[in-house]
Amino acid sequence: MIKYLACILLALQLSSVAFAHLCLFDPPQRQPNWGVPIGSGDNACYQVESNCGNTTAGSPVALYTAGSTIQVFFQQNYNHWYAPNPGFLDVGISYGGDNGNYIQLSQTISDFNAWDMVSQTNYTVSVTLPIQSCKSCVLRVRYVSNNAGEPYPDFYQCSDIALE
């Protein structure tokens, strides 16, 4: 019976991996607001709409000093590398909500051939925040795969933050 239950749990974990692509851990992403890595199988890591995956904005989960340098920790956990036109990951900030203009905060990180789509690659990126304060900004991490064979080739995660 224990082996049977273990097989069911493993099957559930493996089937859920297909729904995960990009997780933002610090600052915590919207839905769920966990703050620490819990693995790649959470459906909250599959956001394909450019306006933060149509997740609902909330109160800031992190307060930073405007102009300071912070570490953004995220995970690409489903690699869609496309040899003819490799994609990239980057970090940006918007003062105008989910659909506002994003100021790119990081250099682009080139996608790579992981040889296994479900590889989990953690990134910690240093970004310098703008000097303009805000009571409610959106920090966005995106993965643009450029993969022409995917119905949804781009992935987004957002965190609601404030700058003082």
Residues in a beta bridge with 163? 64, 134
Cβ atoms of residues 23 and 124 within 8 Å: no
Q: H or E element: which one contains 13? A: helix 2-17
Share of the chain above pLDDT 70, in %: 79
Share of the chain above pLDDT 90, in %: 52
Least confident of 43-52, 64-73, 114-123, 133-142: 114-123
pLDDT tens-digit map of 67-98 = 999 999 998 887 787 889 999 999 999 999 99
Domain residues of the chain, as ranges?
Answer: 2-163
Average pLDDT in the chain: 82
Residues in a beta bridge with 125? 72
DSSP symbol at 41:
-
Nearest CA among 132, 157, 123, 131 for reference residue 49: 157
Q: Is the pLDDT of residue 37 over 60?
A: no
Topology of domain 2-163, CATH: Immunoglobulin-like (2.60.40)
Beta-carbon contacts of 14 under 8 Å, excluding residues fewer than 6 positions away, are none
pTM of the model: 0.82
If one compares 109 and 7, the residue with the highest pLDDT of the two is 109
DSSP symbol at 120:
-
pLDDT-based confidence at 18, cuts 50/70/90? Answer: very low
Quote the pLDDT of residue 77: 81
**Checking DSSP bridges between strand 109-110 and strand 88-94, what pairing results, if any?**
antiparallel
Q: Is the pLDDT of residue 65 over 60?
A: yes
The structure tokens listed for 88 are: 């990239």
